[in-house]
Chain A
Amino acid sequence: MARVVVDVMLKPEILDPQGQAVQRALPRLGFEGISDVRQGKRFELEVEGPVDEATLARIHDLAESFLANTVIENFTVRVEEAAEAVK
């Protein structure tokens, strides 16, 4: 079993109200020195069988069509090595 991680982030130019809310809260809570916060989503996909190029291409497709809204979001797909080591 291997783990593939899909990270989805709003494109840099797109307004991120959640990230802004976090950023505004930080100084109130005593955490200084953070000039910007952007919040995204992380998907961990447990893949049956080996993670080969075909699998990654499939995951890329599903990320593009379902996990991310590519009109306003970017995404990256990567295989998480640590998960394999644990096995």
Chain B
Amino acid sequence: MSRTPLDTVEHATATPDVELPWAELGLKKDEYERVVEILGRRPTGAELAMYSVMWSEHCSYKSSKVHLRQFGEKAPENDALLVGIGENAGVVDVGQGYAVTFKVESHNHPSYVEPYQGAATGVGGIVRDIIAMGARPVAVVDPLRFGAADHPDTKRVLPGVVAGIGGYGNCLGLPNIGGEVVFDPCYQGNPLVNAGCIGVMRHEDIHLAKASGAGNKVILYGARTGGDGIGGASILASETFDDAKPSKRPAVQVGDPFQEKLLIECTLEAFREKLVVGIQDLGAAGLSCATSELASNGSGGMRVTLDDVPLRDSTLSPEEILMSESQERMCAVVEPEKVDRFLEICEKWDVIATVIGEVTDGDRLEIFWHGGKIVDVDPRTVAHEGPTYERPYARPEWQDALQADDAGKLPRPQTADELRDQVLKLVASPNQASKKWITSQYDHFVQGNTVLAQPEDSGMIRIDEETGLGVALATDGNGRYTKLDPYTGAQLALAEAYRNVATTGAKPLAVSDCLNFGSPEDPAVMWQFAEAVRGLADGCRRLGTPVTGGNVSLYNQTGEAAIHPTPVVAVLGVIDDVARRTPVAFQEEGQLLYLLGDTREEFGGSAWSQVVHDHLGGLPPKVDLERERLLAEILIAASRDGMIDSAHDLSDGGLIQAVVESALLGGKGARLVVPDGLDAFTFLFSESAGRAVVAVPRSEEVRFNDMCGARGLPATRIGVVDGDAVELQGEFALPLAQLRTAHDETIPALLA
């Protein structure tokens, strides 16, 4: 068998009838026909490789785009927003000349195949997004979802994921300050590994990815390119397209955090010396993505010589080089006279850097290999003008039955003993138990600026040592609520993250989201997605916090069974002086406990219904965003003026979960009294939104009450910080030691 000649543009024009394996590369027939129409000829193998990865769901957002537009259309006016949606990450003004960029992304599928490397490279990817904005990464967070805690596969996936996040983040020297761990059988086979990162810069240092100016050089720097994560491209590399074999290349990428650390320092030094015109990190779709996006964000023309790309494996074909997802690589556009200095900086940091092409006058992206032109495309058609689908969506038939299955009708505890037993069962359940075994594998305090980390309501980082200026980040998402009502569920995730930020004393500013759903080809899933996006966009407008960017992960589904729709929402807030923060832990005996907000009989999707009855049905708690705003204002003012010494937001598990956590963290008990108008069960377990429990020093009680009264926020005195037990007067007392055992031992027993 003779080797197929290099598939150049010339060759493709001359051989229009050659059948390309477009289906194997994931393109639909009409998508392939569209490529042929755009080019006016059949694509070359390399062009097909580029179009197929860039038009994939992951890169093109083809199913989600029509809905995501709402984030822009409904965006609230917000002076703090410096760079909005569409860039690598959004940028927010936090005052004193500082800007903060943050984003959450998913790395779900790779983390299921190879948990350690999948999770590690997820951290690496989000960190590169942040440095591509010219910001110094200062902290990471990791919202995680796994299958049932006692399932054997969870024991394979979770420790690998946690070790991968810890291994990569700790080596990089970035504190891990937040995130969540949630177990639910719906994530069996589809764990969610989301990763977020916060970066800090001065206003004047904001950089956007673009490549203008003919003659500017395109420099690829970082790791060599190997055969990582190319999957389907190997089909193109086989001798003829007919003898396509199963991929010999692994889909797994391996990360090298020390290389990433060098990339951070090297990139920020180049920024500092103003050597960079445009920059792009190489993530999904590797060079295909970086070249086409850089070119189309600039004037459009770019010429690249693929032979100049430093390779780890010399047998790679040009298609594979274009699709490789080798980690720790970046692409910069640099003016010719600054190239030498740029290369010098790379050499100083031991980073391989190579000029692989230049910006041209035209509007074509041309790529050469062994002297032949193998790509000649309009880069916009690759990067931005991919297919867009208006996928059909329909409210599933089972939704009504699910909502009618009211959790309020479940049998409730009848005696004080039953109530006590259910409290113990709740705080020991995998979702409510302490996650210390997991989070203690991450370094929280490296760099010395961490103010708050798990299990606080939000992570908080100091960004200016002199003034104490800091930022807080909280991530939340409740798949159970969202399954019951996607519109409300997404707003509850937003409201909870918003509340969590305010509970620590920071003012919420902006939102990033990671939308994890099943297959968009299922109209029921698409309906969940559409409703969740609509809910989130409406919610952000009402709260005045714009969505600055994020990520969509679809196809989280095994066979017919999709995961619960899981929009994970991250809210970023700012605090003028981190010394004024409010912690979760009870500080002093004798302080008065106040419950803020209204408690209703709301148990749909609650932790209680899951833990005690293994039930999911009814409606999730109601959302009142005006109330959330008011509650946040009160919490921030109380923190600033020293009226509260601890605060904890009420969410899954309800009041008793919050009080037990504050008590265990502070090593101080609480005596609680059921307020008038409520029964003990509803008081303890209801998950009504818009609530928090705060500890008020006696000297501040009058002032605090006056403030709540004047602003119209219900504040009910429910007890006092006292003793070494959590006691509900007239019902039960649980010694802290017993609660601690129940709360702390669950996770190590299942996973250690």
Known contacts A14-B228, A15-B228; is-contact A69 B114 (Cβ 8 Å): yes
**Alpha-carbon gap, A23 to B259, bound state (A):** 14
Query: Contact: B250 with A13, CB < 8 Å?
Result: yes
**Alpha-carbon gap, A69 to B252, bound state (A):** 12
Chain A hits for B350, CB < 8 A:
24
Query: Contact: A72 with B114, CB < 8 Å?
Result: yes
**Alpha-carbon gap, A24 to B350, bound state (A):** 10
Provide the A3-15 mask, 1 if CB < 8 A to any CB of B, else 0.
Answer: 0000000111111
Query: Contact: B254 with A71, CB < 8 Å?
Result: no
Chain B hits for A12, CB < 8 A:
313
Within 8 A of A (CB), among B206-262: 223, 226-228, 249-250, 252-256, 258-259
Query: Contact: B250 with A72, CB < 8 Å?
Result: yes
Query: Contact: B226 with A15, CB < 8 Å?
Result: yes
Provide the B429-467 mask, 1 if CB < 8 A to any CB of A, else 0.
Answer: 000000000000000000000000000000000000000
Query: Contact: A71 with B249, CB < 8 Å?
Result: no
- Which chain A residue has the least Cβ–Cβ distance from B118? A71
- The answer to whether the Cβ of B326 comes within 8 Å of any Cβ in the partner chain is yes
Number of interface residues of A (CB under 8 A): 14
Chain A hits for B256, CB < 8 A:
15, 17, 20
Query: Contact: A72 with B226, CB < 8 Å?
Result: no
- Which chain A residue has the least Cβ–Cβ distance from B324? A13
- Which chain B residue has the least Cβ–Cβ distance from A18? B256
Contact residue among A14, A17, A21, A24 (Cβ-Cβ distance under 8 Å from B250): A14
Contact residue among A15, A24, A72 (Cβ-Cβ distance under 8 Å from B327): A15
Contact residue among B117, B223, B259, B313 (Cβ-Cβ distance under 8 Å from A72): B117
Query: Contact: A15 with B253, CB < 8 Å?
Result: yes
B316 to chain A, nearest CB (A): 9
Contact residue among B117, B226, B255, B258 (Cβ-Cβ distance under 8 Å from A13): B226
Query: Contact: B226 with A71, CB < 8 Å?
Result: no
- Which chain B residue has the least Cβ–Cβ distance from A21? B258
Provide the A42-75 mask, 1 if CB < 8 A to any CB of B, else 0.
Answer: 0000000000000000000000000001011000
- Which chain A residue has the least Cβ–Cβ distance from B259? A17
Q: How many A-B residue pairs have CB under 8 A?
A: 42
Contact residue among B113, B255, B259 (Cβ-Cβ distance under 8 Å from A71): B113
- Which chain B residue has the least Cβ–Cβ distance from A16? B254
Chain B hits for A15, CB < 8 A:
223, 226, 228, 253-256, 312, 326-327
Query: Contact: B254 with A17, CB < 8 Å?
Result: yes
B224 to chain A, nearest CB (A): 9
- Which chain B residue has the least Cβ–Cβ distance from A15? B254
A29 to chain B, nearest CB (A): 16
- Which chain A residue has the least Cβ–Cβ distance from B160? A69
- Which chain B residue has the least Cβ–Cβ distance from A36? B312
Chain A hits for B117, CB < 8 A:
72
**Alpha-carbon gap, A15 to B223, bound state (A):** 10
Within 8 A of A (CB), among B25-65: none
Query: Contact: A13 with B114, CB < 8 Å?
Result: no
**Alpha-carbon gap, A72 to B116, bound state (A):** 11
Chain A hits for B313, CB < 8 A:
12-13
**Alpha-carbon gap, A8 to B410, bound state (A):** 54
**Alpha-carbon gap, A11 to B254, bound state (A):** 11
**Alpha-carbon gap, A10 to B312, bound state (A):** 14
B529 to chain A, nearest CB (A): 30
A74 to chain B, nearest CB (A): 11
A65 to chain B, nearest CB (A): 11
Chain B hits for A14, CB < 8 A:
226, 228, 250, 252, 254
| Among all A-B residue pairs, the 7 with the closest Cβ atoms | A13-B227, A17-B256, A15-B254, A71-B114, A72-B252, A14-B254, A13-B249
**Could you pull out 10 A-B pairs where Cβ atoms are within 8 angstroms?**
A13-B226, A14-B254, A15-B223, A15-B228, A15-B254, A17-B254, A21-B258, A71-B113, A71-B250, A71-B252
Chain B interfacial positions (CB closer than 8 Å to A): 113-114, 117, 223, 226-228, 249-250, 252-256, 258-259, 312-313, 326-327, 350
New A-B contacts (13) at CB < 8 Å, excluding given A14-B228, A17-B256: A11-B250, A13-B227, A14-B226, A14-B250, A14-B254, A15-B226, A15-B253, A15-B327, A16-B254, A17-B259, A71-B250, A72-B252, A72-B254
Chain A interfacial positions (CB closer than 8 Å to B): 10-17, 20-21, 24, 69, 71-72
